[in-house]
Structure 1
Amino acid sequence: MMTQVDPDATETDTNMDKQSTTELNDTNIYKLQLAVMSIVNSIIEFKGAIDFM
């Protein structure tokens, strides 16, 4: 992903841009973890159901 550099931007603006990108990545990682956990839970429940039969 290319970030556009604003020639008029102050250092604070640039830091704020970086911070919002980091927050976005954290949210995506969190969503990914939730997805992985739910898949794992489904597999465990499915395995339990098979064992129960």
Structure 2
Amino acid sequence: MTGTILLDEEAKTDDAIGTYPDQKTIEQRLESGFFLLDKGAGPTSHQVAAWVRDMLQLP
């Protein structure tokens, strides 16, 4: 299984309320974002969500 993280490189933010997206750690990006996944036929969405949680060691 391979994965892709998509980032909006042109996104801007106010330094008073956060950091620039390209300066965030992977952990910060995961906390403030979501996964967009084209799972294809086969596994259920619940199975795929569980796999992602396990791979990223999320609760």
TM-score, normalised to structure 1, is 0.27
Larger gyration radius, structure 1 or structure 2: 1
The structure where helix makes up a greater share of residues is: 1
